[in-house]
Structure 1
Amino acid sequence: MAGTVVFDLDGTLADTSGDLIAAANACFQARGLGDLLHPVDDALIAFHGGRAMLRAGYGRIGADTLLPPGAEDEDYPRLLEFYGQDIARHTRLYPGTEAALDRLAGDGHRLAVCTNKPEALAEVLLRELGIRDRFAAMIGADTLPVRKPDPRPYQAAVTGAGGTVAQSFLVGDTETDRKTAAAAGVPVALVAFGPEGEALSRLAPEAMLAHFDDLPKLAAAWLGC
């Protein structure tokens, strides 16, 4: 019997780090601080969210540069605005993403997205990447009053796709995804091709994915087809 495969977005379906860091750097530039984050070296920071990028950047300014109180709260909505204006300039799907999605759908599995990216931005990005129509449900950070690792967004993604939680699993790339799956009582496959690579094995996921080519076989083993 087929089931539901739920995907995180940033760092799982697509490498969004370049555009995220560009948005953070735009905030720093607006304060006359220049580019404080590197688009490659700081990719991992990007996948921990906008506020994490801002804090990392602020931490690199000289002691003689004073930020006003509440700089993070001021810059976070600006970051989202900058990001939304140029959301897919550098972002690319990971190799094999579309083929894996098509194969999963062909095997009868339902597909959904559960992300901690704001819903409106996630919708725009998925459309820009040309894959929004692959997913029967999409739950963002602000779709519900709670976000991952609370299990309710995951549960909403599964039920929104017409599936059942007991016959589902999560594909992700962070400790947040690991905790979400544990809270929902489902297995998780963490990707080894994201910024942390094989280091994610420290979280003891039920599976590590070396490439999206391996996902249909894993889904068949876990969910049947």
Structure 2
Amino acid sequence: MRIVIAEDSALLRAGIERLLTDAGHDVVAGVPDATNLLRLVNDERPDLAIVDVRMPPTFTDEGIRAAALLRSQNPDSAVLVLSHYVEERYAAELIASDTRGFGYLLKDRVADVPAFLDAVQVVGNGGTVLDPEVVSQILVRSHRRSTLDALTPREHDVLQLMAEGRTNSAIAAALHISVGSAEKHIASIFTKLDLAQDESENRRVLAVLRFLES
């Protein structure tokens, strides 16, 4: 299998290349940033690109954004994303678009060499490999979204104003409704978000956290 590697750590890049070469794969090239990755894939048309999530210049999400662009521009090229953490939004979008020839593993899994090489083979052959932690976090995110989807448009407005720190009377004034109506909307939000009355927790804060997390 012809493979390219995009990983800013020269040591890790060399280690992965050695593992792949020893397993009989042809590592076409290794690059330290996302810009060179896209150029390399367009020039070499590899069977698989192994991409780190965090790369220069900001070391945030350049790698996974490049992976998403790579998938859209070169749908025949398989992509295996490696990361120290789960970048939920892009991972969910990549999985939702097309799972064929796609993998997302946490870097800890690379230490399990046989499992890592199996993942490379599966993804390179058009299959899908997802780290259990990736699946878990995306499912949690999906659940949060579906829970908020149960809110009415008016309840969404109320929750947004709650997130802005508005009091019940301020919410009522902003929406041109009575304070009693605002309180009813808030009670309905608590119910739909499954926030039971508990003196040890502030349901208002928890509701806002759900809103922000979504």
Give me the TM-score of the superposition, normalised by structure 1.
0.36
Greater fraction of residues in helix: 2
- Please tell me whether Structure 1 or Structure 2 has the larger radius of gyration of its CA atoms: 2
